[in-house]
Amino acid sequence: MVGIKFNATSVQVLPFLLLGLGVDDMFIVASSFQTFNKEIIDPDEIAGNCLSVVGPSILLTSVTNVIAFGFGMLTPLPVCVAFTQMAAFCVCFIFTSVLLIFTAVCSWDAKRRRKGKADALISCFVKDIDPDVIINETGDDMSGSKASKAYGKFVVSWPGRAIVGVGTIIFFVLCVTEGWVNLKQGLR
């Protein structure tokens, strides 16, 4: 799509590296969201304050990572050049995703919590929940929620185990047939 060639190193190593680089930014944003969530009433204002506090640090770490991968592009090995090009592009993508998408999702979640609505994934199983219980982030009231009990019962039931087992088998079969068998090895 952007003219970068895939190789085995990029496919096997880069996802784990980018997971570490992207998840820490998400933890920083989520932690800041929880701090402001208790003090401010308007969820849009929470998102603005959150980005004003953590945005510069996320920007600095992302720019530093892009510069570091940019210096890696100076090596004469084509594999290293392709790896660092892909890594720099993906770090930019993660940065914009965290700022634009993850923050918006956190804002929507804060609005949903303020209204006392259940999560979208489990709303068919659970009716609306008391907003005071949802906003409580200490964990005191979270252990016995109806949603967690319904999900727990489903996962340990035989249909839930069957769905998870079949899904896991399908995932591994696709990994072997599409990933490992068709992967082209080489330095170019």
Tell me what the mean pLDDT of segment 161-174 comes to: 88
pLDDT of res. 137: 44
pLDDT tens track for 12-40: 888 888 888 888 888 888 888 777 656 66
For 125: left if phi > 0, alpha if psi spans -120 to 50, otherwise beta; the answer is: alpha
Structure tokens at 86: 């892909």
pLDDT tens track for 58-76: 999 999 999 999 998 888 8
pLDDT of res. 177: 80
pLDDT of res. 53: 86
φ and ψ at residue 85, rounded to 5 degrees: -60, -45
Tell me what the mean pLDDT of segment 169-186 comes to: 77
pLDDT of res. 169: 92
Q: In the structure, what pLDDT confidence band is assigned to residue 166 with cuts at 50, 70 and 90?
A: very high
